[in-house]
Amino acid sequence: MAHETVEKTPVTLLGLGAMGAALARAWLAAGHPLTVWNRTPARAAGISAEGAKVANSAAEAVAANTLVVVCLLDDASVEEVLAGADLAGRDLVNLTTGTPAQARARADWARERGARYLDGGIMAVPPMIGVPDAGGYVFYSGSRELFERHRETLAVPAGTTYVGPDAGFAALHDVALLSAMYGMFAGAAHAFALIRREDIDPASLAPLLADWLVAMAPAVHQTADQLRSGDYTKGVVSTLAMQVAGTPSFLRTAEEQGVSPELLSPYFALMRRRLAEGSGDEDLTGVIDLLVR
């Protein structure tokens, strides 16, 4: 029986930090020919032993393959590393975290140099890379054609979610989700602080906290529905007026427990401002409009 050999797209990867190394290992494990470069050459030794070609310079690595993936510290390092490389005809995929404006400027910069450009925002930590069930994925935005052309290769390290032709959208989605995550961490930090001096095992609070946050998370769908309709009273269960009335109890409890209210206070202040505008029968959605300058 004849065996068909499926050629795997060769990949160039610049950057072998924690995330770059995880990406490299995922592509090698899936059989993709891989050329790598890293500023500190010692970091490439392990990947080389696993089968990657190590280029002597970033320019040499870029010249090796059409698909060039960059995963460096920040946008400034991307500029520095690619400065001496000939990008003409390259498919540049930038997985370096940055702002939407940086991504848009980098897309223009790449286009001026004759490259096609796709920006990525990684929603995973290194141990999730190359582990299909880990739930990690990458937001992509920019050239749809480029995304489709390399979709299979890009899906090797983590899932792929294309969010539009605007190169800034991957970074915007990335930062939006991570910002929400920090809000959640802030709330959890306050909760743990409240019990810190009591005879309550943090390990007994943790599952209660996790279950509660999971139970509350679907509320974002109602928020989205209200934002779309413009009616912030639609489906409201707990009115802003009722919630503002409850806030002194939260602040007094913090005081009684010797806990600074500095994580809660800014949000409560916004709720009170919205209430003062006469929006007591609304949900908390109106706070969003106070944030948008």
Site residues, ligand FVH (CB under 6 A): 15-20, 38-40, 43, 71-74, 77, 80-81, 96-97, 122, 125-126
Minimal distance, residue 140 CB to ligand FVH, in Å: 14
Nearer to ligand FVH, 5 or 40 (CB): 40
Nearest residue to 9 via CA among 68, 70, 89, 78? 68
**Cα end-to-end span (Å), the chain:** 67
Nearer to ligand FVH, 125 or 208 (CB): 125
- Joined tokens for residue 193: 């602080």
Instruction: Name the β-bridge partners of 137.
Output: 123, 159
3-state secondary structure of 134: helix
Minimal distance, residue 60 CB to ligand FVH, in Å: 15
Minimal distance, residue 161 CB to ligand FVH, in Å: 14
Minimal distance, residue 96 CB to ligand FVH, in Å: 4
Q: Do residues 14 and 71 make contact, with C-beta atoms less than 8 angstroms apart?
A: yes
Nearer to ligand FVH, 174 or 283 (CB): 174
Minimal distance, residue 205 CB to ligand FVH, in Å: 26
- Joined tokens for residue 257: 């427990």
Nearer to ligand FVH, 94 or 153 (CB): 94
Which amino acid belongs to residue 270?
Answer: L
Q: Count other C-beta atoms under 10 Å from residue 254's C-beta.
A: 19
The residue count for the chain: 293
Minimal distance, residue 87 CB to ligand FVH, in Å: 16
Tokens 């020919």 correspond to 33
Nearer to ligand FVH, 103 or 191 (CB): 103
What is the rounded distance in angstroms from the CA atom of residue 276 to the CA atom of residue 270? Answer: 10
Nearer to ligand FVH, 58 or 240 (CB): 58
Q: Which residue has the closest beta carbon to ligand FVH?
A: 17
